[in-house]
Amino acid sequence: MEKIKTAFSHPRFPAVILLLVFVPLFFHGPRFGIPYVKGGDEPHYLAMINSLLIDGNLDLRNSYDSARKGSWRIGKKFAGAAVDAHVDWNVGGRQVTWPQVYEDPNQWKKGADGYYVPERRPDVTVDISNLPEYSGHPAGIAFLLAPFLWPFRGTPLTEPMALLCSNLAVLLSVFLFRGILRRYTQDRLALNLATLLAFLGTPIWAYARTLFMEPYLIFFATAAYFLVLEKRSGFWAGISLGLGALLKPNFLILSLPLACFLVYKRKFKSLGLLAIGPCLATAAVLYSNFLWYGSPFTPPQPFWFGNPLHGLVGLLFSWNHGIFTFMPAALLALAAWPRFLRDHGSEAVLIGSGFLVYFIMMALYGCWWGGWCYGPRLVAPVLLFLMAPIFHLPGIYSPLGKPLRLLAVVICVASLAFNALGAMDGYWDSHPLTIFAGNIS
């Protein structure tokens, strides 16, 4: 045990964590190779990025048509494939979505040129032939990554470089997270163990290899909290919130706990500066909604309410998308929360409320599981806030009896093992144990 403590306390141990976060980017099941998007919403985000870089606009018709004919505009995995388009049309001020017009891709047939042709639903008469096709996702990711990907526009390198940007967002989050925790402990073992479990014992590890929005939202959420707590910078914290809102407008809910904290601390100037980023982002979102969908209040993806009890229980305990089933180490973090609240008062409340408001919002969402994805995707941006008190684990662990110590070790190892499997091979919409059991049976 002493050797393990010594290893975890080593000054270079954070570099090992960074390396482990980085490596899965190149791992594709049993093979290593250049990063590429795997599925879910990833190819549709890539469609927006390539459309802005190559065509100079966000009309995605060219991107999807080109991809069906073999280009890499939505990813090399989907070149020439029958893939539905995540797009909407503005038809006389009415929003019309792709599934309302076209059949499921499984029913498409190849045309004379050998490429798949989208098949219209027989009962649809709406004319969308000359209308631009705008994404069913917020377009912020295209503008965010365009400056970094511009040198690679029009080449197959756009895809792996976009994924590298996602990975770098998570790597930067490691430093920000440790910066927050250093406010509460200088113990190297506690810091390293907390970083290990927060990044490698949660689905964050798997999302660091994807083109989902979660890697960037993790970064912007952690940055906003770091800037308020450590740098006392309301302005830049607000810019972080605003950038996150351009990716997913619901992200702005994190403004509430930060604003309340600044009011409690009587930092009214910082509160005013904090509001600048969210206000600019809200204006940009409303304008783009009006431009593309006919009304400022018609978003590409409306927030529709579901059964809050189903969402609450599902996000916590669902086998395929639950927090505790994918990261049982969260139970140890929960055990540390009372001590964290007692020792650090308002700052602990701020961090905890960041998780709670975001979690409750997603529990209210009708699609709380996040579609075809890995684990509790929709709450991934705030999982670091839930895990923050786990730096208390070494202090909690020492007085425990042997059975409880063993249980704590098993819980930590299980979290790391589950998410190592997820990071290495994806396991979309399934728990890693399900797939692992199938592979060895």
Burial group, residue 292, by CB count within 10 angstroms (0-12, 13-18, 19+) = buried
Q: What's the token pair of residue 312? A: 């609450």
Is 36 within a domain? no
**Whether residues 219 and 292 fall in one domain:** yes
Is 243 within a domain? yes
Segments forming the whole domain that contains residue 56:
42-152
Is 30 within a domain? no
**Whether residues 141 and 244 fall in one domain:** no
**Whether residues 295 and 185 fall in one domain:** yes
Per-residue confidence in pLDDT tens, the chain, 441 aa? 666 677 778 788 999 999 999 999 998 877 889 999 998 999 999 999 999 999 999 999 999 999 999 999 999 999 999 999 999 998 888 889 999 999 999 899 998 888 999 999 998 888 888 899 999 999 999 999 999 999 999 999 999 999 999 999 999 999 999 999 999 999 999 999 999 999 999 999 999 999 999 999 999 999 999 999 998 899 999 999 999 999 999 999 999 999 999 999 999 999 999 999 999 999 999 999 998 888 899 998 888 999 999 999 999 999 999 999 999 999 999 999 999 999 999 999 999 999 999 999 999 999 999 988 999 999 999 999 999 999 999 888 777 778 888 999 999 999 999 999 999 876 678 888 886 655 443
Is 29 within a domain? no
**Whether residues 87 and 133 fall in one domain:** yes
CB contact burial 181-220 (16+ within 10 A = b; e otherwise): beebbeeebbbbbbbbbbbbbbbbbbbbbbbbbbbbbbbb
Instruction: Give CA–CA dist 359/324, Å, rounded.
Output: 14
Q: What's the token pair of residue 84? A: 């539905």
Q: What's the token pair of residue 294? A: 């006919």
Instruction: Give CA–CA dist 321/222, Å, rounded.
Output: 22
**Whether residues 216 and 269 fall in one domain:** yes
Q: Are 362 and 311 in contact (CB under 8 A)?
A: yes
**Whether residues 211 and 360 fall in one domain:** yes
Is 37 within a domain? no
**Whether residues 224 and 81 fall in one domain:** no
Q: End of a domain among 120, 152, 184? A: 152
Q: Are 386 and 333 in contact (CB under 8 A)?
A: yes
Is 296 within a domain? yes
Whole-Å CA distances, 398 to 1, 394, 402, 405: 12, 6, 10, 8
**Whether residues 55 and 168 fall in one domain:** no
Structure confidence at residue 441 (pLDDT): 36
**Whether residues 128 and 269 fall in one domain:** no
**Whether residues 176 and 313 fall in one domain:** yes
Residue (of 48, 59, 73) closest to 142 by Cα position:
48
DSSP code at position 254 = G
| Cβ neighbours of residue 431 closer than 8 Å, sequence gap 6 or more | 319, 320, 325, 326, 418
The tokens 């290593």 sit on which residue?
Answer: 32
**Whether residues 137 and 203 fall in one domain:** no
Residue (of 181, 150, 199, 141) closest to 340 by Cα position:
181
Q: End of a domain among 152, 171, 195? A: 152
Structure confidence at residue 1 (pLDDT): 61
Read off the pTM: 0.95
Is 35 within a domain? no
Tally of structural domains, the chain: 2
Q: Tell me the three state secondary structure of residue 161.
A: helix
**Whether residues 246 and 342 fall in one domain:** yes
